[in-house]
Amino acid sequence: MEPAGITVNGSQPYDIQVHNPDLFRRVRHQGTLGLGNAYVDRWWDCDCLDEFFCRVLQSGAVRRAGLFLPQVLGTARARLANMQSIGRAFDVGRHHYDLGNDLFEAMLGPTMAYSCGYWKKAATLDEAEQAKYDLTCRKLDLREGMTVLEIGCGWGGFAKYAAETYGVKVIGLTVSAEQAKYAQILCRDLPVEVQLCDYRSFNGQVDAIVSIGMFEHVGVKNYRTYFDVARRSLKDDGLFLLHTIGNVKSTITMDPWMSTHIFPNGMLPSLRQIGEATEGRFVIEDVHNFGPYYNPTLMAWHRNFHAALDAGKLSAQYDDGFARMWDYYLRSCAGAFRARDLQLYQLVLSPQGVAGGYRSVR
């Protein structure tokens, strides 16, 4: 770990403390899957996991390590099967988003936004998430009376904000039963309709489409279908905002540990993959990368999670093993965004090109 400036059993907060010497053999055989599982199993510790991962990724150590068996098997499965088929669409809802609304309420705060905040002028998580909602509405040029399709509506935070602030009707789609129940209650008495369904099942036409933090579950084999659905659902003069975590390199799988424990069947797109899938369907009007803002977002979620855990506000199912898994998830992702290894893209798309050109909003 010398290129990353990390010392085994060192004194810096980003140094790792090894409790089981078999850790190195486990990592050699299983790569990142073994590293993450070993952390959850208390084979090693690190006071500042986020900075550990930032330094490792910036050093290029992960790229030089090569492929490990879990990565090879994951790639083979992704090539041979459609890991994000309609039959598998609800897997991530049951595995992740249905974990418990008490967990997500505590971690996300009142906005219930489970995606990168916009910290340009924000000082708190809530301000950053509200700013992201408003930025999204302004990029779509939402006006009173419009109907908006939200592909992946989460717990209804954006739908509530857009309906209350911009006077639009929102149709929200989710594959999580718990999200659907929560969003229906959150948005009661508002012109918001929440449907528990896969995006491929939607039929209808709307004035605008938004998808925030859902495209990571679509998979490259389904990108063309996804954009076909969006195109047939959007009026010719409408706009589509796609908000997604992105890779700087085209792949077809997610990190094995993340796919196994957090987001089953996930896949992060590159701009190249998005561009190829939109050809003949949409004009890309605007690309906005505010990936660095995911670092403070994730760290705020981490603080909220532990504050609730320490205060005894979460149910007993979130035991020590879960807490370590969640630590690893949030702080490793924060490190990846801090290192600029991962990106956050907001793209604005139009079916036929905006007459006179699209005016970028920041």
Each residue's pLDDT, cut to its tens digit, for the chain (362 residues) gives 566 889 999 999 999 999 999 999 999 999 999 999 999 999 999 999 999 999 999 998 766 555 555 665 666 566 767 878 888 889 999 999 999 999 999 999 999 999 999 999 999 999 999 999 999 999 999 999 999 999 999 999 999 999 999 999 999 999 999 999 999 999 999 999 999 999 999 999 999 999 999 999 999 999 999 999 999 999 999 999 999 999 999 998 889 999 999 999 999 999 999 999 999 999 999 999 999 999 999 999 999 999 999 999 998 889 999 999 999 999 999 999 999 999 999 999 999 999 999 999 99
What stretch(es) of the chain map to CATH 3.40.50.150? 86-296+333-350
pTM: 0.94
The first and second tokens of residue 53, run together, are 């991962």
Catalytic residue among 54, 137, 187, 333: 333
Q: Which of 226, 249, 227, 252 is nearest to 81 (CA)?
A: 252
The Cα–Cα gap between 262 and 152 comes to 17
- For the question of residue 197 being annotated catalytic, the response is no
Q: Phi then psi for 213, rounded to 5 degrees?
A: 70, 30
Cα–Cα distance list, 16 to 42, 57, 95, 156, 330 (Å): 12, 15, 30, 39, 17
Name the CATH code of domain 86-296+333-350 (choices 3.40.350.10, 3.40.50.150, 1.10.645.10, 3.40.190.290): 3.40.50.150
pLDDT, position 215: 98
